[in-house]
């Protein structure tokens, strides 16, 4: 009996071993984590980028972003498009396809750049697919720890933190930006002449002899008050054309071009340089004892950009007080998204909603 | 049995063969000794953010491409950041940081030898002869210069040719020459301390004012003299010194060593070596002649006609002072606005474990440079006996 059990036991073990040796010819499912999608495919499949996708489809660029790259795309998400008044595909359809294509190509640079691969300084210049340059500035402070968490601004537009930056894909990287970039072909002068809200400013620049410099100077930063700002001081296109330039001190209207100093300053540069302590007279643009201090902060809770331009007058060596000849702060005209950082080929225009200096206080 | 011996002999022969490895030591024939500082120091503000930044790459004998962008160089001193206030008497070799406070800093290069008893390990050996030297700005990143894309390889700040004599000691600065235009230039000083009969029972120090032209006049418009009292210097100043000991964190002068005249310093970017002035290594007769005890040295800079005794209500630029060593609360005040710790306990004197004594004090040779509104100290040490534990 025991002998039989032994044989049975051995037979069962052999049987089990035989069954255990069966090899199913299984094909493992494709591991999608090792085959990342392209930038184009990622945008197609992301609800937050649906407006960008529509724009890329309309301009025929979506296929380019599926090719081998590598590219770095500064991608405005739907929220960013909404800030400039583009809420649906219908709004995009109203736009000129060529200019839309140009500005979308301006959002792409060649090669793969993660946040840590940008040098930790202001104004790293990169050539975009349009051939124009964009400016990447790394801030002093971090929005989250580590080099990948530093504040980053592209032409004054913030790269969103955490999972919205450094999105690594098969043919490049996506960084989601706070608002779409803008770029105007032509000089600062061309920008001002095209903008119908700056007609009075253009007349005054011509009268006071700054106009040619706005075309020929290599680098210039302009704070241009809107027509409404001049109207508040009873200056209209008509009266501006008749203004007696000899009566005014140079600062009265020269302050808006910072007396043609060779500057290239975005609205976020002060914040990038000095972090939260950005509001310091030492960190301002100074001309003739008058300082212009663009401040910026992103409010992560309200999801808004808190901006202002602080104006100060120098009364002692390091003694600065609030502007005595006009408002202490001014804002960007129509808000930061529309007023600040209008980039042109030879400089930047910031459109502001108030005059810096009451001209009648600046008579000789 | 014979076979076994044969095998052992064969193994021994193999061992001998393997032991005959020849090591090629790096060697530079007729070297000159070179130490380089980036003495540019201007603050980045919104108004000057497009100015060339003070983060440099030194290229000796560079090869340029057709656009004038460097492609390679015989010697590269990369990541040259602003210099530290104290240039230490020994190399930075223990640290692993990529950014350098000086060249050679922590780079693994052939260092200088002990020359006439002076430790030149903070100097790099470079081939003597004529060299083209280029200083270019570079981005603030950890990417080596020649791995950067060409459009990121900065702008040239200095492009010049120098002739280095063999076995000579050189200290080189990138200096701001004109304050208003920010014109930069190269300053190269052929040091003479290795050839001078300097006693090892005296501490030596010489003074330079390498400020840029126009700094003193121009800054009165932009820097508040009252906000930074006594942080400027006129072109010609008389130097006084005191040796002191900290008591309750305040310096107390050692008897007989208070406000003693030492020499003069004149603003100049001339590369002549300034005369060395000295004070005794052991000024305090009450201590043993092994360790001086915690102490500090204070140097006072007074306009001609003034002494540290009558410095009240001076105009800007007529008075300044720096304390070096264990100065407690004394430095950072209006009376002594500057302070550099240097050797933690004894300032210009090096106190360290040597032989059976721990600590033991050694005299040094020092160079104190005033550039625009900052002091920089370079300490050179002599060779001393290793510690016995």
Half-sphere exposure of A341 (CA within 13 A, CB side): 23
Is there a single domain that holds both residue A162 and residue A196?
no
* Collapsed DSSP state (helix, strand, coil) of residue B322: strand
Q: Do A219 and B46 touch (CB under 8 A)?
A: no
Is there a single domain that holds both residue A165 and residue A250?
no
CA–CA separation, B124 vs B120, rounded Å? 8
Which of A148, A177, A206 delimits the end of a domain?
A177
Q: Do B140 and A119 touch (CB under 8 A)?
A: yes
Instruction: Region of A141 please: left (phi>0), alpha (psi -120 to 50) or beta.
Output: beta
CA of B217 vs chain A CAs: smallest distance (Å): 14
Could you list the residue range(s) of the whole structural domain that residue A195 is in? 188-362
- A341 close to B (CB below 8 A): no
Is there a single domain that holds both residue A170 and residue A248?
no
Evaluated on CA atoms A188, A191, A193, A199, the torsion sign reads: negative
Residue B221: the pLDDT is: 58
Nearest to A264 among B50, B143, B151 (CB): B50
Would you place residue B167 in the very low, low, confident or very high pLDDT band (cuts 50, 70, 90)? very high
Between these two residues, B20 and B255, which has the higher pLDDT value? Answer: B255
Residue B77: the pLDDT is: 93
CA of B152 vs chain A CAs: smallest distance (Å): 8
Which of A152, A177, A202 delimits the end of a domain?
A177
Phi, psi of A128 (to 5 degrees): -85, 180
Q: Mutual orientation of helices A50-58 and A97-105 as an angle, nearest 10°?
A: 120
A340 C-beta neighbours (distance < 10 Å), count:
30
Q: How many CB pairs under 8 A join A and B?
A: 60
Say whether pLDDT at B295 is over 80. Answer: yes
Phi, psi of A325 (to 5 degrees): -110, 10
Nearest to B140 among A121, A261, A283 (CB): A121
Would you place residue B299 in the very low, low, confident or very high pLDDT band (cuts 50, 70, 90)? very high
Of residues A241, A231, A232, the one with CA closest to residue A207? A241
Is there a single domain that holds both residue A112 and residue A257?
no
Would you place residue B330 in the very low, low, confident or very high pLDDT band (cuts 50, 70, 90)? confident
CA of B37 vs chain A CAs: smallest distance (Å): 22
Between these two residues, A89 and A22, which has the higher pLDDT value? Answer: A89
Is there a single domain that holds both residue A163 and residue A290?
no
Position A140 in a domain: yes
Is there a single domain that holds both residue A194 and residue A324?
yes
CA of A270 vs chain B CAs: smallest distance (Å): 6
Position A157 in a domain: yes
Say whether pLDDT at B342 is over 70. Answer: yes
CA of A107 vs chain B CAs: smallest distance (Å): 19
Say whether pLDDT at B252 is over 80. Answer: yes
Position A165 in a domain: yes
How would you class B290 by CB atoms within 10 Å of its CB: exposed for 0-12, middle for 13-18, buried for 19 or more? middle
* Collapsed DSSP state (helix, strand, coil) of residue B220: helix
Residue B315: the pLDDT is: 79
Residues on chain A touching B140 (C-beta within 8 angstroms): 119-121
Between these two residues, B63 and A288, which has the higher pLDDT value? Answer: B63
Is there a single domain that holds both residue A304 and residue A239?
yes
Mean pLDDT of chain B: 89
Residues on chain A touching B224 (C-beta within 8 angstroms): 316-319
Is there a single domain that holds both residue A152 and residue A288?
no
Position A52 in a domain: yes
The CATH number given to whatever domain includes residue A106 is 2.30.180.10
Distance of CA B323 to the CA centre of its chain: 17
CA–CA separation, B55 vs B53, rounded Å? 6
- A353 close to B (CB below 8 A): no
Is there a single domain that holds both residue A129 and residue A202?
no
Half-sphere exposure of B248 (CA within 13 A, CB side): 0
pLDDT, average across residues A5-25: 69
pLDDT, average across residues B339-348: 90
Nearest residue of B to residue A289 by CA position?
B222
Please tell me whether the overall predicted TM-score, pTM, comes out greater than 0.95 for this model: no
Domain count, chain A: 2
Which residues touch B231 (CB under 8 Å, ≥6 apart)? Answer: B320, B337, B338, B373
Position A67 in a domain: yes
Quote the tokens at residue A246: 């000899």
Between these two residues, A46 and A288, which has the higher pLDDT value? Answer: A46
Would you place residue A55 in the very low, low, confident or very high pLDDT band (cuts 50, 70, 90)? very high
Is there a single domain that holds both residue A217 and residue A356?
yes
pLDDT, average across residues A348-353: 92
- A264 close to B (CB below 8 A): yes
Q: Do A263 and B47 touch (CB under 8 A)?
A: yes
- A120 close to B (CB below 8 A): yes
Is there a single domain that holds both residue A167 and residue A301?
no
Residue B222: the pLDDT is: 57
Position A27 in a domain: no
Is there a single domain that holds both residue A345 and residue A231?
yes
Position A5 in a domain: no
For chain A positions 125-144, those within 8 Å of chain B (CB to CB) are 125, 127
Query: To 5 degrees, how large is the angle CA A234–CA A238–CA A242?
Result: 95
What ipTM does the predicted assembly reach? 0.74
Phi, psi of B361 (to 5 degrees): -95, 140
Of residues A39, A81, A250, the one with CA closest to residue A177? A81
CA–CA separation, A292 vs A157, rounded Å? 20
Would you place residue A174 in the very low, low, confident or very high pLDDT band (cuts 50, 70, 90)? very high
* Collapsed DSSP state (helix, strand, coil) of residue A259: helix
Q: How many residues does chain B have?
A: 389
Of A31-45, A347-361, B63-77, where does mean pLDDT reach its minimum? Answer: A31-45
Which of A177, A199, A234 delimits the end of a domain?
A177
Token pair 């104290």 in the structure block, residue:
B86
Q: Do B49 and A122 touch (CB under 8 A)?
A: yes
CA of B258 vs chain A CAs: smallest distance (Å): 35
Residue A283: the pLDDT is: 72
Position A56 in a domain: yes
Residue B147: the pLDDT is: 92
What DSSP assignment string belongs to B251-302?
EEEPTT-SSEEEEEEEB----PPPPPEEEES---TTS-SS---S-EEEEEEE
Of A143-147, B102-106, B263-267, where does mean pLDDT reach its minimum? Answer: A143-147
């Amino acid at each position: 009996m025991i002998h039989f059990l032994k044989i049975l036991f051995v037979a069962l073990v052999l049987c089990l071993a035989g069954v255990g040796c069966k090899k199913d010819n299984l094909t493992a499912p494709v591991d999608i984590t090792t085959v990342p999608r392209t930038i184009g495919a990622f945008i197609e499949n992301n609800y937050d980028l649906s407006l960008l996708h529509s724009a890329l489809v309309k301009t025929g660029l979506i296929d380019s972003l599926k090719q081998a790259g590598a590219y770095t795309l500064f991608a405005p998400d739907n929220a960013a498009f909404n800030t400039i008044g583009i809420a649906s595909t219908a709004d995009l359809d109203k736009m000129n396809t060529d200019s839309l294509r140009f500005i979308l190509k301006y959002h792409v640079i060649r090669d793969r750049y993660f946040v840590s691969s940008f040098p930790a300084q202001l104004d790293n210049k990169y050539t975009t697919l349009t051939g124009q340059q964009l400016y990447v500035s790394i801030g002093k402070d971090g929005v989250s720890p580590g080099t990948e968490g530093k504040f980053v601004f592209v032409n004054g537009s913030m790269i969103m933190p955490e999972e919205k930056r450094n999105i690594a894909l098969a043919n490049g990287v996506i960084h989601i930006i706070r608002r779409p970039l803008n770029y105007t072909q032509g000089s600062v002068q061309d920008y001002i002449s095209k903008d119908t809200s700056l007609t009075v400013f253009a007349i005054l620049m011509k009268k006071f002899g700054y106009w040619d410099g706005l075309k020929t100077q290599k680098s210039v930063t302009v704070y241009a008050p809107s027509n409404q700002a001049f109207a508040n001081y009873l200056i209209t296109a008509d009266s501006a054309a008749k203004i007696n330039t000899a009566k005014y001190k140079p600062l009265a209207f020269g302050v808006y071009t910072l007396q043609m100093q060779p500057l290239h300053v975005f609205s976020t540069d002060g914040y990038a340089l000095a972090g939260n302590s950005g509001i310091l007279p030492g960190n301002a643009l100074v001309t003739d004892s008058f300082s212009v201090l663009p401040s910026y902060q992103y409010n992560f809770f309200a999801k808004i950009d808190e901006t202002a331009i602080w104006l100060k007058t120098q009364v002692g060596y390091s003694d600065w007080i609030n502007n005595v000849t006009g408002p202490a702060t001014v804002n960007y005209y129509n808000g930061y998204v529309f007023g600040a950082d209008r980039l042109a080929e030879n400089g930047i225009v910031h459109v502001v909603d108030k005059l810096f200096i009451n001209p009648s206080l600046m008579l000789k | 049995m014979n076979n076994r011996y044969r095998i052992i002999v064969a193994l021994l022969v193999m061992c001998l063969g393997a032991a005959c490895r020849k090591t090629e030591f790096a060697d530079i024939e007729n070297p000159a000794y070179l130490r380089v500082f980036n003495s540019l120091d201007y603050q980045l503000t919104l108004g000057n953010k497009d100015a060339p930044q003070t983060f440099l790459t030194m290229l000796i004998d560079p090869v340029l491409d057709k656009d004038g962008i460097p492609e390679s160089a015989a010697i590269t001193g990369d990541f040259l950041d602003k210099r530290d206030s104290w240039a230490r008497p020994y190399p930075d070799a223990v640290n692993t940081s990529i950014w350098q406070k000086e060249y050679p800093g922590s780079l693994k290069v052939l260092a200088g030898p002990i020359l006439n008893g002076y430790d030149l390990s903070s100097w790099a050996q470079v081939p003597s002869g004529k060299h083209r030297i280029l200083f270019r700005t570079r981005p603030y990143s950890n990417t080596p210069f020649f791995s950067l894309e060409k459009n990121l390889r900065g702008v040239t700040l200095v492009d010049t040719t120098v002739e280095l004599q063999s076995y000579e000691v050189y200290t080189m600065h990138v200096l701001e020459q004109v304050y208003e235009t920010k014109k930069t230039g190269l300053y190269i000083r052929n040091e003479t301390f290795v050839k001078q009969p300097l006693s090892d029972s005296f501490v030596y120090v010489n003074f330079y004012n390498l400020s840029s032209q126009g700094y003193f006049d121009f800054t009165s418009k932009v820097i508040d003299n009252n906000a930074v009292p006594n942080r400027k210097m006129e072109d010609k100043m008389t130097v006084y010194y005191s040796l002191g000991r900290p008591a309750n964190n305040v310096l107390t002068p050692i008897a007989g060593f208070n406000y003693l005249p030492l020499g003069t310093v004149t603003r100049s970017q001339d590369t002549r070596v300034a005369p060395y002035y000295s004070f005794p290594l052991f000024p305090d007769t009450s201590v043993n002649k092994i360790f001086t005890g915690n102490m500090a040295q204070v140097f006072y800079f007074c306009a001609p006609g003034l002494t540290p005794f009558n410095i009240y209500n001076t105009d800007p630029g007529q008075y300044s002072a720096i304390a070096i060593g264990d100065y407690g609360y004394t430095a950072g005040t209006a009376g002594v606005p500057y302070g550099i710790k240097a050797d933690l306990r004894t300032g210009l004197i090096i106190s360290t474990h040597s032989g059976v004594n721990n600590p033991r004090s050694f005299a040094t040779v020092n160079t104190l440079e005033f550039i625009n509104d900052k002091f920089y100290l370079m300490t050179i040490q002599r060779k001393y006996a290793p510690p016995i534990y």
